């Protein structure tokens, strides 16, 4: 009798490189040697939801941004909104404008990091190029001007926080009730001066993506292309809105399932389930249950749910983007990159509009109130998708429950599905080429996952691809040199 | 009338009066000493041990705040040994409870944090004890977070010696010692507290704060209490 397990292998990619945080991938091979299943494991656990219990709710806007150094502003915004819900308070308009600028700035810097630093090496140097050089350093050697532009775009985003709140990361500017610090005229002008260069850089990024797509049309269109639902926030007319939108769910055909939902009602539409193989929970659209209710968030989802974009240059790109799918949403995971760049363009344009609003330099930036109700929910779009903070307090304002629903968590089911789709195409038996593994990783990287956030995670763990046979025995482990 | 005499501090002759503490004499002579528990106008307790000095002929280090001057004393306030001990003391204070400056409401507005910088503390060599401490937010205006308390007892003394309410005390010993309100009841249930807020103003850390103070918005004014004490003591 033949050895059945000799063909039943499991491939594990560990660590997945060029993502924020640490994870590993397991590829299970069936007895026929073909890919049977694939799992994305998040190995970190941080426990923010638990250790914040017992703290005064007003501390959350300082604690929550510590979850992530890439998107601290989104956490601060969702957190202050939850606090302001508890206080039943509306911040002054100038404070909202300043928060918007910081929030858009963070979107630009995070998207610049994702595209120029983490993903563009694949586009420009090639998926099959030398892995030692397939990174921002290799990019800087070959395309120094472009790498510099990418770094500067990220710097611009960071500078928004620095010029408004005094620090480019973890500032104390955003506070329940408004802002602690205002924007000076000098800083307003300095930020506006960045706009033309930033628009230019994003457009160069868009050109890179479009050229790549033209050259590799089949791969781009078919790369982890599968149907899911989508969630994103939109403005009153259905336009893309990142700071203060209402929830919109669409189905795989692009039909609106729910629209203009107050984020405070999120629990009516979203439920979470735990997975045995990951610390990352897997939320789903409650009315359809799991797995039918699998939905995705983030740039692809936001541009799939939005009806329009309010700024002219981004709207032009959006129209072109929408033509690809016709009336249907774009399901191809590779289009996350495209959507990300269009969003970055919108963010820069919208930042210009906001900074040109004369109220932005007003000194009336703080309103005061105390706890007026036990529970508060805050929501904002983080670079990787819709973010919810939900706090429950006792009569003294001490937190008794904290629920953080993070974008990457909501993409968990999508990421698992994506690597399965890619692995099926790229992996054939245990003998896998390095470039194929990079494509599996690239499927994850499309989501730009920030795993330390989504798992509320601690520690540093490198990424590995592990190949397991049908009897769950590891037959090959691929770990890249550090 | 007590006759003054001369002592030497860091090889410098300084005039002292019987009954004065070494800390008071140092202050008059503009000789800096690190202090956390001491607050001008409140009785000294020697709780923090940061103002340790060396006295020639005395084998152990003594806190300047509770050591009285004596004729012919030769005192040293700066030495490698003292710096080593002060650094160790500040690290021990940090390791005892949960002093996480980055997320503390008193960040950049904290005497403990300032002192750690001054003493060159760049890390803590001792294991953090990370005790589970209560946050008492029952008071209408103020919060007491025991995680950030260093047991300097300024709050106990200002309440008793200046406000006269005697609402606060210390209960338990060593690691278990806690500042309590009256008979260890929630602050909000206290009948003796006048809500004057002096304890909040003199608290050197984020342990006592107004309950609406978010990070970056905390304003403490210990000078106001010091001025109040000075005015009370002023003779017409």
Task: Mention every residue, 6+ apart, whose C-beta is less than 8 A from residue B117.
Answer: none
Q: Is the pLDDT of residue B19 over 60?
A: yes
pLDDT of residue A2: 40
pLDDT of residue A470: 80
Per-residue pLDDT averaged across A399-413, rounded? Answer: 89
Q: Is the pLDDT of residue A452 over 70?
A: no
Domain assignment present for residue A351? The answer is no
Looking at the complex, does the CB of residue A59 fall below 8 Å from at least one CB of chain B? Answer: yes
Per-residue pLDDT averaged across A229-250, rounded? Answer: 97
User: Which residue of B104, B215, B219 to mutate against A (max A Cβ within 10 Å)?
Assistant: B215
User: What's the rounded Cα separation, in Å, for the pair A196 and A207?
Assistant: 17
Min Cα distance B193 → chain A (Å) is 18
Same domain, A401 and A474: no
User: What's the rounded Cα separation, in Å, for the pair B95 and A473?
Assistant: 45
**Domains contained in chain A, number:** 4
Question: Could you state, in order of their start, the residue ranges of all structural domains in chain B?
Answer: 5-78, 90-233
Closest CA in chain A for residue B216: A172
Domain assignment present for residue A424? The answer is no
Weakest mean pLDDT among A153-157, A220-224, B103-107, B139-143: A220-224
Per-residue pLDDT averaged across A177-194, rounded? Answer: 96
Q: Do A56 and B135 lie within an 8 Å CB cutoff?
A: yes
Per-residue pLDDT averaged across B185-207, rounded? Answer: 96
Q: Report yes or no: A381 and A302 within 8 Å, Cβ to Cβ.
A: yes
pLDDT digits (tens, 9 = 90+) for B172-193: 998 899 999 999 999 999 999 9
Q: Report yes or no: B97 and B63 within 8 Å, Cβ to Cβ.
A: no
Domain end residue (candidates: A200, A225, A250): A225
Task: Mention every residue, 6+ apart, whose C-beta is less than 8 A from residue A391.
Answer: A57, A60, A82, A83, A86, A375, A376, A377, A399, A401, A402, A403
Domain end residue (candidates: A165, A191, A225): A225
Min Cα distance A385 → chain B (Å) is 25
**Residues in A 208-267 with any Cβ partner in B closer than 8 A:** none
Q: Do B103 and A396 lie within an 8 Å CB cutoff?
A: no
Per-residue pLDDT averaged across A137-159, rounded? Answer: 91
Cβ-in-10-Å burial (0-12, 13-18, 19+) of A276 comes to: exposed
pLDDT of residue A453: 45
Domain end residue (candidates: A305, A331, A357): A331
Min Cα distance A360 → chain B (Å) is 20
Closest CA to A409 of A306, A270, A288, A246: A270
pLDDT of residue A444: 79
Looking at the complex, does the CB of residue A66 fall below 8 Å from at least one CB of chain B? Answer: yes
pLDDT digits (tens, 9 = 90+) for A292-309: 999 999 999 999 999 999
pTM of the predicted model over 0.95: no
pLDDT of residue A8: 62
Min Cα distance B98 → chain A (Å) is 12
Q: Do B137 and A398 lie within an 8 Å CB cutoff?
A: yes
Closest CA in chain A for residue B133: A54
Looking at the complex, does the CB of residue A161 fall below 8 Å from at least one CB of chain B? Answer: no
Find chain A residues with C-beta within 8 A of B213's C-beta. 58
Q: What is the mean pLDDT of chain A?
A: 87
Find chain A residues with C-beta within 8 A of B106's C-beta. none
Closest CA in chain A for residue B144: A56
pLDDT digits (tens, 9 = 90+) for A256-279: 999 999 999 999 999 988 776 777
Q: Work out the percent of chain B whose per-residue pLDDT is above 70.
A: 98
pLDDT of residue A443: 81
Domain assignment present for residue A434? The answer is yes
Distances (CA, A) of A287 to A130, A284, A291, A417, B54: 46, 9, 11, 21, 74
pLDDT of residue A456: 33
Task: Mention every residue, 6+ apart, whose C-beta is less than 8 A from residue A418.
Answer: A224, A226, A333, A443, A444, A446, A447
Same domain, A166 and A185: yes
The three-point CA angle A129-A132-A135 to 5° equals 80
Find chain B residues with C-beta within 8 A of A176's C-beta. 214
Residue A44: pLDDT band (50, 70, 90) is low
Domain assignment present for residue A422? The answer is no
Per-residue pLDDT averaged across B201-209, rounded? Answer: 97
Q: Report yes or no: A310 and A235 within 8 Å, Cβ to Cβ.
A: yes
Helix axes A312-325, A335-355, angle to 10 degrees: 160
Same domain, A139 and A179: yes
Per-residue pLDDT averaged across A131-144, rounded? Answer: 82
Closest CA in chain B for residue A395: B138
Q: Is the pLDDT of residue A459 over 60?
A: no
Weakest mean pLDDT among A421-430, B7-16, B20-29, B179-188: A421-430
Among A59, A63, A368, the residue with its CB nearest the CB of B212 is: A368
Find chain A residues with C-beta within 8 A of B211's C-beta. 56, 58, 370, 397
Cα dihedral B75/B78/B80/B85 (nearest 10): 80
ipTM above 0.90, yes or no: no
Eight-class DSSP state of A225: B
Same domain, A277 and A383: no
Residue A472: pLDDT band (50, 70, 90) is confident
Find chain B residues with C-beta within 8 A of A63's C-beta. 103
pLDDT of residue A218: 87
Per-residue pLDDT averaged across A414-435, rounded? Answer: 79
Q: Do B215 and A173 lie within an 8 Å CB cutoff?
A: no
pLDDT of residue A457: 31
Structural domain of A159: 91-225
pLDDT of residue B143: 96
Looking at the complex, does the CB of residue A63 fall below 8 Å from at least one CB of chain B? Answer: yes
Backbone angles phi, psi at A175, to 5 degrees: -140, 155
Distances (CA, A) of A164 to A52, A159, A191: 27, 8, 10
Q: What is the mean pLDDT of chain B?
A: 94
Find chain B residues with C-beta within 8 A of A172's C-beta. 107, 215-216
Min Cα distance B67 → chain A (Å) is 40
Total residues belonging to chain A = 482
Q: Is the pLDDT of residue B2 over 80?
A: no
Closest CA in chain A for residue B218: A180
Looking at the complex, does the CB of residue A43 fall below 8 Å from at least one CB of chain B? Answer: no
3-state secondary structure of A451: helix
User: What's the rounded Cα separation, in Å, for the pair A428 and A426?
Assistant: 7
Per-residue pLDDT averaged across A141-160, rounded? Answer: 93
Domain assignment present for residue A361? The answer is no
pLDDT of residue A120: 84
Class of domain B90-233: alpha beta
Residue B219: pLDDT band (50, 70, 90) is confident
pLDDT digits (tens, 9 = 90+) for B147-167: 999 999 999 999 999 999 999
Same domain, A96 and A34: no
Looking at the complex, does the CB of residue A167 fall below 8 Å from at least one CB of chain B? Answer: no
Per-residue pLDDT averaged across A50-66, rounded? Answer: 92
Q: Do B102 and A170 lie within an 8 Å CB cutoff?
A: yes
pLDDT of residue A5: 45
Same domain, A139 and A39: no
Looking at the complex, does the CB of residue A61 fall below 8 Å from at least one CB of chain B? Answer: yes
Q: Is the pLDDT of residue A434 over 90?
A: no
Q: Is the pLDDT of residue A442 over 80?
A: no
pLDDT of residue A437: 73
Distances (CA, A) of B126 to A263, A399, B62, B88, B96: 45, 30, 23, 9, 9
Weakest mean pLDDT among A35-49, A202-216, B75-89, B107-121: A35-49
Give the count of Cβ contacts less than 8 A between chain A and B.
Answer: 53
Residue B30: pLDDT band (50, 70, 90) is very high
User: What's the rounded Cα separation, in Å, for the pair A251 and A359?
Assistant: 39
Task: Mention every residue, 6+ apart, whose C-beta is less than 8 A from residue A132.
Answer: A138
Closest CA in chain B for residue A62: B103
What's the token pair of residue A344? 């970055």
Query: What strands, in cross-sheet order, belong to the sheet with A385-393?
Result: A375-382, A385-393, A399-405
User: What's the rounded Cα separation, in Å, for the pair A276 and A134?
Assistant: 33
What's the token pair of residue B101? 């400056």
pLDDT digits (tens, 9 = 90+) for A336-363: 999 999 999 999 999 999 999 999 999 9
Q: Work out the percent of chain B whose per-residue pLDDT is above 90.
A: 88
Same domain, A264 and A180: no
Distances (CA, A) of B71 to A61, B19, B26: 56, 11, 15
Find chain B residues with C-beta within 8 A of A170's C-beta. 102
Same domain, A436 and A398: no
What architecture is domain B5-78? Roll (3.10)
pLDDT of residue A464: 65
Among B103, B138, B188, the residue with its CB nearest the CB of A59 is: B103
């Amino acid at each position: 009798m033949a050895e059945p397990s000799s063909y039943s292998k499991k491939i594990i990619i560990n660590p997945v490189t060029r993502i924020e945080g640490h994870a590993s991938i397991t590829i299970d091979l069936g007895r026929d040697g073909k890919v049977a299943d694939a799992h994305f494991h998040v190995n970190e656990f941080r426990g923010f939801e638990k250790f914040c219990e017992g703290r005064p709710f007003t501390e959350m806007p300082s604690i929550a941004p510590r979850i992530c150094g890439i998107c601290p502003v989104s956490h601060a915004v969702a957190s202050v909104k939850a606090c302001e819900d508890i206080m039943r308070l509306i911040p002054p308009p100038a404070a909202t404008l300043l928060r918007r600028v910081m929030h858009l700035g963070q979107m630009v810097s995070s998207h610049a990091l994702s595209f120029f630093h983490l993903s563009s090496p694949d586009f420009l140097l090639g998926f099959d190029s030398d892995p030692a050089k397939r990174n921002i350093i290799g990019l800087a050697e070959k395309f120094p001007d472009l790498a510099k532009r990418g770094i500067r775009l990220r710097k611009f985003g960071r500078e928004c926080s620095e010029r408004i709140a005094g620090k480019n990361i973890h500032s104390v500017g955003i506070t329940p009730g408004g802002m602690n610090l205002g924007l000076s005229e000098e800083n307003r002008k300095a930020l506006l001066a960045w706009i033309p260069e930033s628009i230019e850089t994003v457009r160069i990024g868009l050109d890179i993506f479009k050229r790549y797509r033209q050259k590799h049309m089949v791969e781009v269109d078919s790369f982890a292309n599968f149907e899911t639902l989508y969630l994103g926030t939109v403005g009153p007319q259905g336009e893309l809105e990142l700071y203060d939108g209402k929830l919109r769910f669409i189905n795989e055909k692009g039909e609106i399932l729910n629209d203009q939902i107050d984020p405070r009602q999120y629990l009516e539409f979203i439920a979470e389930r735990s997975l045995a193989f990951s610390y990352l929970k897997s939320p789903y659209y409650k009315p359809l249950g799991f797995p039918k209710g699998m939905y995705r968030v983030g740039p692809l989802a936001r541009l799939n749910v939005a009806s329009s974009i309010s700024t002219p240059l981004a709207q032009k790109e959006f129209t072109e983007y929408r033509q690809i799918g016709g009336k249907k949403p774009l399901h191809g995971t590779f289009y996350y990159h495209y959507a990300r760049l269009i969003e970055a363009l919108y963010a820069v344009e919208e930042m210009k509009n906001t900074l040109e609003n004369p109220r932005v330099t007003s000194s009336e930036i703080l309103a005061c109130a105390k706890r007026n109700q036990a529970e508060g929910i805050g929501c904002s779009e983080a670079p990787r998708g819709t973010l919810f903070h939900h706090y429950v307090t006792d009569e003294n304002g001490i937190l008794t429950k904290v629920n953080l629903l993070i974008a990457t968590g909501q993409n968990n089911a999508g990421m698992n599905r994506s690597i399965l789709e890619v692995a099926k195409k790229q992996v054939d038996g245990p003998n896998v080429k390095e470039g194929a593994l990079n494509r599996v990783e690239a499927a994850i990287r499309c989501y730009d996952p920030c795993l330390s956030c989504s798992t509320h995670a601690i520690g540093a763990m490198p990424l590995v691809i592990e190949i397991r046979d049908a009897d769950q025995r590891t037959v090959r482990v691929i770990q890249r040199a550090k | 009338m007590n006759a003054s005499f001369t002592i030497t501090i860091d090889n410098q002759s300084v005039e002292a009066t019987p009954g004065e503490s070494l800390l008071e004499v140092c202050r008059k002579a503009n000789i800096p000493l690190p202090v956390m528990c001491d607050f001008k106008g409140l009785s000294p307790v020697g709780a923090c041990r940061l103002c340790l000095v060396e006295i020639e002929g005395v084998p152990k280090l003594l806190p300047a705040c509770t050591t009285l001057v004596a004729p012919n004393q030769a005192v040293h306030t700066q030495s490698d040994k003292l710096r080593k001990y002060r650094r160790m003391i500040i690290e021990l204070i940090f390791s005892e409870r949960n002093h996480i400056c980055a997320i503390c409401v008193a960040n950049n507005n904290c005497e403990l944090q300032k002192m750690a910088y001054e003493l060159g503390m760049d890390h803590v060599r001792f294991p953090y004890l990370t005790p589970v401490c209560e946050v008492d937010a029952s008071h209408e205006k103020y919060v007491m977070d025991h995680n950030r308390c260093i047991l300097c007892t300024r709050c106990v003394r200002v309440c008793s010696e200046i406000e006269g309410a005697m609402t606060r005390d210390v209960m338990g010993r060593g690691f278990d010692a806690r500042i309590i309100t009256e008979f260890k009841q929630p602050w909000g249930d206290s009948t003796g507290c006048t809500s004057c807020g002096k304890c909040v103003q003199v608290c050197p850390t984020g342990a006592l704060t107004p309950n609406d103070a978010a990070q970056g918005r905390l304003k403490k004014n210990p000078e106001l209490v010091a001025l109040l004490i000075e005015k009370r003591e002023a003779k017409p």
